[in-house]
Structure 1
């Protein structure tokens, strides 16, 4: 016995060295002298030693050693010592959460000692542990063994069994057991009823739960038995369930019934109502109840506690009622309720989610001033808010603050930051976060990997995406349906639809382990143990259908739709909209409306996207009347048109010449607070220019500048339209304004303007434009000089023509690039013409219809420079001719 005490002390000293502790225990249990003391002492000391050893081995997950301990007890100890020791082993394993291991040892124990069953409390312990660790499948075996061992269950045991059946949604069996309890000599109590009611409510069977309470109340009155009457907990569960299902009238009736039956509603009752109402978006109704709790003491209502205040604060913040939230925070501070970390976290989350980052930062400072230490959840709220607002460097800085305060980033922190980088397309930085995460011992989860995987596909980095999937397998991060959808979407986006369809087919046929039939992604998901986690879903098929429709493979898309239905996957509005868009783009309006009928027949409502697709299709067919009918229908259904809707209708109206109606729609957009975009104005400006109503086109241009800003697309559009309409003066004025704003030139037909000015004998205007281009530092097509040189030469202005030719050649020899970024007046301005072709001087003259006069002028200028022939200039690698080879 003394030896056992010494070993026990040695084992306790070596709890951090489980291998050494196990060697000490093994030595003492194997010793022949271990059973020489009186049996009671040996039993107690051995049992104590086994309990300590089991805890140490279980904490170290040394399961093989536990099995050796079991065998050693049976081999070395008498029956009266081994029996309670093994029972202690099982008890410790069950209490420490090693349920499967505990049941393995218990089954072995029952086989070895069939005539010595453990006590009812021991069975209850195992039953409770299996439920706590979500092992309802083990409950049946335990109950069967209990009955076989002639251990009589009590009410507590039945409650555990009923809870197990409720957790498994086996309510019919739960009710049978509930009704038979009295036959077994056990009377159901209020906890029994509460377990059933909670299980039914969690499963959404609130009506059935209410019927159970009513029946129990009737039976208790008939039998004068109060044990089965619902208590406050049961009523609170029902109230919360009714509120969650938005059955507020039933909840109110139930609260009144509680008072009638002498069960006064408490603060939990009201908290349940407030929480459920806030979740359902009925914050004002919740606020009225909250106000009554604060003010109406005559009704005997419970006063709100900290939980009530937090629930109300969360409700205000979630639904953007920030002024109400601020007022509540002030009230809480005055009442001394705003002191807990939970309250601060609720307030921080509300501020961050509503974009109030500066105020959230001040709240963090306030926490520090009051000595309230932020936890990982607090910091994660802030990191999430910063990342959502693309303040990634600030998020990084906050992580440094976390670590300096002894709070280390977890999987959520790193994943949030990684997602922030991915949302900005910064894949390199995202991968760096992943490596840092792993290096710091924080394991990524499937969501982390999926986030990076999606970003890699989005950026077109296919090989890296493939490597990512491979690493997920190697590190045992199980791909799920989201992973499957990312892969399918990436392949579809890259035009590899056949490969995407192969993956989906193989997933259905043989699971992920079959994806090795010539597919480059075949072996990348082959370690999934639970195939059902990675089965295709409706999103998978919608992605495939969308990809097929985009490339015109409609027949294959239809087949995938049929396959989707055959797999019991229900298409949603997005799936149907994909087909409607495709048919409308192809002009098959009747087919689109047939899809629409099927969509509505299957319970899918029309969305804004549905209407936009139909309006586009009808617009292409010039069916204005039908479009207005759809607009009326949208208004009736409360679906507001967006910019896409208006642009499609404006485009259609302009094409059929109804420009005034189009302008009316523009006014309607502005009245509804929908800002027209550049496309809206481009459609209208083109339409009015086409009808030669340049005055209105210019007025629209001014409106567009006020709304959209001074965009190159607007200037170049109006310039080109004015030029095409013969409005040379207006076009020249607009072009000069564009140059003053240093806008891109590549979409301006400025060469045509210069040529047209020359044709109209406006050489001074054309020359001034050239000089302005040069003065502003633009790189432009030097062929623009030729019409002016030619015109000046024809007029006999030899000196001006020579000066212009000389300037042209100077620019050429300066090797001024056509497309570059350069300094002008200390501003960086983008040069805007891009042409990688090559040509020679004669090409420049001939392609623009120049005469021999201009060519002679250039020869004369060159000869004056002493550079020899024109052909000698062509061989210079830095000649400006290297940059211009096309039409400019």
Structure 2
């Protein structure tokens, strides 16, 4: 009766006709049972493929009411086909129908095993419990394989205690555990980070005379290595040999992999070397996986020379390198920043007949984007297409993230549209990258528009999305809205995580709402989100910043009680707070404690100390701290120098201050920010000759002089009758093409008039009026473009013009104005704004 099955198969694309054919055959009571079941199997698969579940339920009734065919066997066959096809719930419902129709007919344990296995594959643990209970009620005795399935499912779901209970009940049900049973439990314990409990099972195995196999030992060796317990791993290797087993390459690869992941690459390297040369010990030869693990480990720890030597030896020894090895090599080169060589490797792969995979290209694109070489990254993507490889969502997301990182939102948007046009739809990571960039750029409306589009196109807001929104709201000052949004997360069944609370708590602390921040902290713990050292550091820093040092130490006590040690950030915050309270003995004590614990101070640590010492007048101590920082080869930043220069100038120690300034120039080069700061402090201290030298040098370097107190400086020069110096400064500013406060001319003009230098005074007067004209034109242009800002120069000039100090100079200047005076452009066309190091 193969013809019937063939007829059904021929109508696979016409399942309705196949169903009608089977119903007609099923009505024949004399149809052979073997042929009936064979055609039933074919039909069931056709109906499943066509998703005709109504007909499957009708098929159940047809089988149960069949006049002569043994419906029990047919129903069992139907259940098996459904279970193997992934329709476990439907299979179980058929099982229940069968049990109701044939209550006294026993079912086989193999059927239950199949249903349990399928339920586990479909991640339906409640069905497993139901099936096991049904077995017991039906008096179908479970076998060892049944218990192994249950133990495997419970371990995979993380229910290790329940898995152990099932293991202990096996003997009660007359089943003995086998090697596979123990292997499942050992693997479960090791995956959960409890290798010691897995190790205890070896004793249980010994008590029932079961010898552990190599798989069990390898699992334990790997787990102990991952925890850094290499001594225990070595003991297990010895146990393998004692049990007359030979450690294989998997054993050693497990050890090497775990050691490399733990950062112990040199230790892994010793094992690798022994495998290569120590054949007398019976060690297995390293395979390609071993080599790849070591290559990855060397790159991970920055041991590029060792990686290069290994890769070279792999090629020289005639090893047929595969795509996985080349991808590890590419990733290492990219991490090292050797992008040109990485691109050469792509060519080498092609020459050797190994086609670069999409992973290979994505590695290159990622490296180029991280080095801001976005045009090159785009070219590599085009190269992919030329070689017949279509960029995937990872390729596009990497490049889009690169654009976003550089603030190139328009390019990122174009790429997103191009991505969709090419049939590659963005994932949440892609959208989140663009969303984060929009928030950083302050484009709130665009960010809201993107969120709407994400919702329209079915992208769920995951926790990462919400965290980006919250961070953006907090940075834009809308903390209340951020808190509302976080509350919405709970309503939308999204659980705020540690990052969520960190963002909110940090924003509240920055705004000084420490009590509200504390409430959020309590709420977080109440919702089973437990703090880490970063959250504690946020509280410690903000409390110290506000002088609440005792409260900060109470937080610290709770932090240490929870098992978190003080970090560099913690120490820096505490030193800041203690310094503000002038508790210098305790401050130095913390510095010593850092050194004892192997935490190295950084520039912020020393800056906090220098600041507090200087503010308390302990300049000598501050200088000693500065010297210690230099002796420790910790590079000071611009703030370090400013912290010392200011107090030295304030107490009149201008020579040491100038020495510190000269040192800063040797460290950072001739930075505008250093010159302006030193000049301003010298002016405030009436050290005018030194200030004059620095200002003249600044003009020679074409610095932007907006941060220089040049007007005050010129006024002070005139006040102490250094009129010639003041004149020289003004002349140089004009000659260099600077546009500055016209009011600066007045004390010089007054002084020249008083000293009878009428011609010079008139020349300066003309310059002043020309500059004023330029300022007025500039302000008119501003108003034309609706720049609603009164020019600072204009305001000062008007006040000078209307002043009445009895000198009569203003009136004489007005009388000098003649029609047709030229208005030469004396704005500083050539002065460049130099980049300077952020001194925050």
Distance of 1:698 and 1:797 partners within structure 2:
36
The residue that corresponds to 1:299 in the other structure is 281
- 2: distance between equivalents of 1:423 and 1:535? 27
- Tell me how far 1:229 sits from its aligned partner: 1.8
Partner of 2:747: 787
Matched, 1:776 2:717: no
Task: Determine if the alignment matches structure 1 residue 803 to structure 2 residue 763.
Answer: yes
Q: Structure 1: how far apart are the matches of 2:615 and 2:502? A: 34
Equivalence map 1:284-683=2 (5 Å): 284-337=266-319, 339-505=321-487, 511-512=490-491, 526=492, 531=493, 534-683=494-643
8 Å CA contact 2:400–2:412 kept in 1: the answer is yes
Deviation at 1:83, TM superposition (A): 7.1
User: How far apart are 1:266 and its partner, in Å?
Assistant: 0.7
Could you tell me how far 1:834 is from its partner in structure 2? 9.8
More displaced 10-residue stretch of structure 1: 660-669 or 301-310: 660-669
Q: Which residue of 1 aligns with 2:124?
A: 135
In the TM superposition, 1:62-141 aligns within 5 A as 63=51, 65-71=52-58, 74-75=61-62, 78=66, 80=69, 91=80, 94-100=83-89, 103=92, 120-141=109-130
Q: 1:231 aligns with which of 205, 213, 217?
A: 213
Aligned to 2:645: 685
Preserved contact between residue 805 and residue 858 of structure 1 (Cα < 8 Å) = no
* 2:786 equivalent in structure 1: none
Match in the other structure for 1:158: 147
| Equivalent position to 1:859, from 815, 827, 831 | 815
- 1:193 is the counterpart of 2:193: no
- How many Å separate the matches in 1 of 2:694 and 2:671? 13
Q: Shift in Å at residue 419 of structure 1?
A: 2.9
The alpha-carbon deviation at position 630 of structure 1 amounts to 1.3
Query: 1: CA distance between counterparts of 2:150 and 2:463?
Result: 34
Counterpart CA distance in 1 for 2:81 and 2:408 is 50
Structure 2 Cα separation of the partners of residues 190 and 866 of structure 1: 105
Cross-structure match for 1:39? 32
Which of 764, 785, 799 is residue 843 of structure 1 equivalent to? 799
Deviation readout 1:476-503 (Å, 9 max, x if unpaired)? 4333443443344333333333333344
Q: Which one is further off, 211-220 or 583-592?
A: 583-592
Q: 1:809 to 1:683 in 2, by over 3 A?
A: same
Match of 1:254 among 220, 223, 236: 236
- Is the 8 Å Cα contact of residues 169 and 203 (structure 1) preserved in structure 2? yes
Note if contact 2:19-2:43 (Cα within 8 Å) is conserved in structure 1: no
Q: Deviations over 1:288-323 (max 9, x none)?
A: 111111111111111111111111111111111111
User: Compared with structure 1, are the counterparts of its residues 132 and 557 closer, same or farther at alpha carbon in structure 2 (3 Å cutoff)?
Assistant: same
Question: Relative to 1, partners in 2 of residues 1:806 and 1:174: Cα closer, same or farther, differing over 3 Å?
Answer: closer
2:166 is aligned with 1:210: no
TM-score by length of 1: 0.83
The alignment covers a number of residue pairs equal to 817
Q: Tell whether the 8 Å contact from 1:3 to 1:28 is kept in structure 2 after alignment.
A: no
Alpha-carbon shift at residue 206 of structure 1 (Å):
1.7
Q: Contact 1:615 / 1:648 at 8 angstroms: preserved in 2?
A: yes
SS of aligned partner of 2:397: helix
Contact persistence 1:34–1:42 (CA under 8 A) = no
Deviations 1:795-825 (A, max 9, x none): 333333333333343444456877999xxxx
Q: Matched residues in 2 for 1:112 and 1:848: separation? A: 116
Counterpart secondary structure, 1:863:
coil
> What SS does the corresponding residue of 2:343 show, helix, strand or coil?
helix
Q: 1:116 to 1:745 in 2, by over 3 A?
A: farther
Cα deviation for residue 617 of structure 1 reads: 1.7
1:50 aligns with 2:43: yes
Structure 1 residues 50 and 834: CA distance shift in structure 2, 3 A: farther
Aligned-partner SS, 1:639: coil
Structure 2, unpaired ranges of 5+: 782-788, 828-840
The answer (yes or no) to whether the contact 1:818–1:834 under 8 Å persists in 2 is: no
In structure 2, distance between residues paired with 1:104 and 1:321: 60
Supply the distance in 2 between the matched residues of 1:771 and 1:149 (Cα, whole angstroms).
108
- Aligned match for 1:219, one of 208, 214, 219: 208
Distance change (3 Å), C-alpha of 1:138 and 1:400 = farther
Residue 469 and residue 813 in structure 1: after superposition, are their counterparts in 2 closer, same or farther (change >3 A)?
Answer: closer
2:263 to 275, 281, 299: 281
Q: State the secondary structure of the residue aligned to 2:342.
A: helix
Shift of 1:646: 0.9
Question: Which has the higher mean CA deviation after the structures are superposed, 559-568 or 284-293?
Answer: 559-568
**How far has the Cα of 1:734 moved from its partner?**
1.5
Supply the distance in 2 between the matched residues of 1:349 and 1:109 (Cα, whole angstroms): 58
- Pairwise CA distance, 1:395: 2.3
Cα distance 1:705–1:161, how it changes in 2: closer, same or farther (>3 A)?
Answer: same
* 1:619–1:627 Cα contact (<8 Å) kept: yes
Q: Aligned partners of 2:599 and 2:350: how far apart in 1?
A: 47
- Aligned residues of 1:293 and 1:304 also touching (Cα < 8 A): yes
Structure 2 vs 1, CA of residues 113 and 466 (structure 1 numbering), >3 Å: closer, same or farther? farther
Using a 3 Å threshold, how does the CA distance of structure 1 residues 246 and 842 change in structure 2: closer, same or farther?
closer
Distance of 1:318 and 1:777 partners within structure 2: 55
Q: 1:794: how far off?
A: 3.2
Asked if the contact 1:351/1:359 (under 8 Å) is kept, the reply is yes
Tell me the distance in 2 between the aligned counterparts of 1:189 and 1:172. Answer: 19
SS at match of 1:360: helix
- 8 Å contact from structure 1 (residues 402, 409) kept in 2: yes
How far does the alpha carbon of each residue in 1:392-451 deviate from its partner, in whole angstroms, 9 at most, with x for none? 332222222223323333333333333333333334444444444444443444444444
Structure 1 segments unaligned to the other structure (5+ residues): 15-20, 58-62, 221-227, 513-525, 822-832, 868-872, 881-888
Distance 1:28 1:449 in 2: 52
Corresponding position of 2:784? none
Say what the alpha-carbon RMSD is for the aligned residues: 3.6
- Deviations 1:739-772 (CA, angstroms, capped at 9, x unpaired): 2222111111112233333344444433333332
Q: For 2:680 and 2:297, how far apart are their aligned partners in 1?
A: 55
Deviation at 1:638, TM superposition (A): 1.2
The one-character-per-residue Cα deviations of 1:207-254 (angstroms, maximum 9, x if unpaired) are 22222122212321xxxxxxx321111111111112122221111111
Farther-moved stretch of structure 1 (724-733 vs 442-451): 442-451
Q: CA deviation at 1:715?
A: 0.7
Note if contact 1:54-1:93 (Cα within 8 Å) is conserved in structure 2: no
| Counterpart Cα distance in 1 of 2:779 and 2:576 | 38
Deviations 1:690-733 (A, max 9, x none): 22222222222222122223222111111112222223232222
